[in-house]
Amino acid sequence: MELYLTRKTVVEPYKVPFQMLPFPKYIILNLADFVKLPNRTLVDIMAIVVYLDTIHCTMWGPFRKIVVINARQECLESSDYTTIHFNPFHHNTHHFEHKYFKNYLH
């Protein structure tokens, strides 16, 4: 099989959704506690939870609705309660200003 690309070929990036653990090892619920931590303490932060719902049991199993934002203050939305996809806007992102992220996540 051969593949030919020309100037008119449109190549779109393939985004693989990443899995989020249903019960993470560390959860910081208060943003003020997060800001007090020394610089580079949490180097593997994926996102900050903006909204965390209670666990609901359905016939398909337990699920929890969450909304998180990443280091760029862009919203990451849980569409199927386990996989997070990029979503550029959420109404709660304005509560988290750049000052909270400048020393820890950039």
pTM for the full predicted model? 0.28
State the sign of the Cα–Cα–Cα–Cα dihedral 89, 93, 97, 103. Answer: negative
In the numeric block, the tokens 């099989």 are attached to 1
Residues 6 or more apart from 75 whose CB is under 8 A from it? 50, 67, 68, 69, 87, 88, 89, 90, 93
pLDDT of amino acid 19? 55
pLDDT of amino acid 104? 45
- What are the pLDDT tens digits along the chain (106 aa)? 676 777 777 766 665 555 555 555 556 656 666 667 666 665 555 566 666 677 777 777 777 666 666 655 555 555 444 445 444 455 555 555 444 444 444 4
pLDDT of amino acid 23? 57
